[in-house]
Amino acid sequence: MSAHLVLIDALNLIRRIYAVQERPFVQSKNQLDGELAEKTQQQVLFNTQQACNKALENILGYQQASHALAVFDSQNPCWRYTLYPDYKKGRKKMSPFLANELPNIQDSFFKLGVDSLLSEEDEADDLIATLATKMALHGQNVTIVSTDKGFLSLLSPNIHIYDYFNRRYLDEDYVKEKFDIKPTQLVDLWTLTGDNTNKIPGVAGIGQITAANLLNEYTSLNAILTSNDLKLSLKEKLDASEEQIELSRKLLTLKQNIPLGFNLKDIRLKQPIPEHNNRLNNQEAL
């Protein structure tokens, strides 16, 4: 029987829901940068947990999943920060109130039958990519629930990306319309242009249109770099950014071979169990 695994990019879902729940209280204050009173903050957290549970129920019902897993980032910096300390520099940090609430949200997810996976070294994106590709290699269907564009490079006949907030699938047509290339070329595109969302630099002087045109002509970044018929000005830009290209490509490439240490049957949807260690740790993988 074919399985359908739903992988939820948990912090992508939770942080967006939290922002929606917090906004009315913040906007009602005269100073937008002021901290909310503790009682108000507790109300926001309660509302967030209820909204997250409702979102999870909606996702599972709509997707008709046989298996599901909520994947969380570690609170500690991942390996990408070791390679590049400015990774995600300037990004708004998670509210400490929300960070402290995450174990309770994980518990509430488990009561709905969905386990949670955390890692100490890798990002949720890497764990999700590993799970998705392993399933796809066995001909099983996977839906990644996230608005993170980084997952678009994984699109295939068995791997789908679902934007819960806009109730739409982000498919090959979406990639073509937005980037004018194929999903398999996205990492090469962002290596050339940089990824401002994560503060990963690209090649100076190469924008998205130029990068897409190059990839449509040469098919891959490697083919571009080894070509003998590039314009001199373009070749000079690429040669000057050789080290940056190598670094950016490493940062942008999702891992797909992380030892996970559990079987598909462990995340099959079932009736919730009252007490259970609902935080799997992939560091215990064999």
The letter for the amino acid at 4 is: H
Residue 128 shares a structural domain with residue 10? yes
Task: Report the SS3 class of residue 72.
Answer: strand
CATH assignment of the domain containing 229: 1.10.150.20
- Residue 284: band (very low, low, confident or very high) from pLDDT cuts 50, 70, 90: very low
Residue 45 shares a structural domain with residue 106? yes
Angle subtended by helix axes 232-240 and 242-252, to nearest 10: 70
Say if CB 259 and CB 96 are below 8 A apart.
no
**Domain carrying residue 212:** 176-252
For residue 195, give both structure tokens: 């990824």
pLDDT over 80 at 102, yes or no = yes
For the segment 117-167, what is each residue's pLDDT rounded down to a tens digit? 988 789 999 999 999 999 999 999 999 999 999 999 999 999 999 999 999
Task: Report the SS3 class of residue 217.
Answer: helix
Residue 22 shares a structural domain with residue 59? yes
Nearest to 88 by CA among 77, 100, 72: 77
